[in-house]
Amino acid sequence: MSISKDIRVVGLDADDTLWHSEVYFERTQRRFDELVGRYVGADVDVHAALTAVERRNLGRYGYGIKGFTLSMIECAIEVTGGAIGVEELGQVLAAGRSMLDHPVDLIDGVDDAITALADAGYRLVIVTKGDLHHQEMKVMASGLADRVERVEIVSEKDVATYRRVIASMGVAPEQFAMVGNSVKSDVLPVIEAGGHAVHIPYHITWEAEHADHDGTVPTLTTIRDLPTWLAAQA
């Protein structure tokens, strides 16, 4: 495999691109729906209530498991009118701790693809949104840190953020390609910044990450195809 003439730096999204994440949120949310559902009438949509509390708190808590846990506790008290038990709130708290303590579970093909990219001479930077402390712990636990030049943990993935990241790597936008599972966060703002981007869908997408697009976004089925796609952009 030869390196692309144009692309020098590959930006990698982390959650649900390199390792599984949303699946743990969904699992916890299902347990939360069950737990809280016992205290409310059949007409109450606990899932929708939690989504509303999360959205209300997003500006305050940002992304990540700690804010998600705080929103679950707030929602449990609110939606049950205080009828939820302290015991159950303790279980919600424990579910959040257990998510944070969960080992990093790489997505199939990631280790091979990252090795192929590093061997081909691409400089790799992880660009991930979320909680600084937890993301740093995950990068360290992933076993990928030695092949990655830099980890950029950002609070928003917008055009300005990508311009800053690209500049900090010392390349032109057209020498940068981003890969990720969110069209909204990983693809559209990078293309707007003048870079390359490719979408690798994950089987579930967090509601806040849905984006409307015209279907012309470059897409791969698996990260195993990334080295070939990059070489073809030359």
Closest CB to its own copies among residues 3, 137: 137
Question: In this structure, is the dihedral angle defined by the CA atoms of residues 26, 31, 36 and 40, taken in order, positive or negative?
Answer: positive
Task: Give the count of residues interacting with its own copies (CB under 8 A).
Answer: 33
Phi, then psi, of 180 in degrees rounded to 5: -175, 175
For its own copies, the binding residue among 73, 113, 148, 165 (CB under 8 A) is 73
Closest CB to its own copies among residues 4, 69: 69
Based on its alpha-carbon atoms, the radius of gyration of the chain, rounded to whole angstroms, reads: 19
Q: Does 132 bind its own copies (CB under 8 A)?
A: yes
For its own copies, the binding residue among 20, 102, 134, 147 (CB under 8 A) is 134
Q: How far apart are the first and last CA of the chain?
A: 13
Q: Does 41 bind its own copies (CB under 8 A)?
A: no
Tokens, residue 81: 């009118």
Q: Where are the alpha helices (DSSP H) in the chain?
A: 22-37, 46-61, 65-79, 86-101, 110-119, 132-142, 159-168, 188-192, 226-232
Q: How far is the CB of 139 from its own copies (least distance, A)?
A: 11
Q: Which of residues 163-182 bind its own copies (CB under 8 A)?
A: none
Q: How far is the CB of 136 from its own copies (least distance, A)?
A: 5
Is the Cβ–Cβ distance between 72 and 51 less than 8 Å?
A: no
Q: Which residues bind its own copies (CB under 8 A)?
A: 57, 60-63, 66-67, 69-70, 73-74, 77, 82-87, 89-90, 93, 96-97, 100-101, 130-134, 136, 153, 155
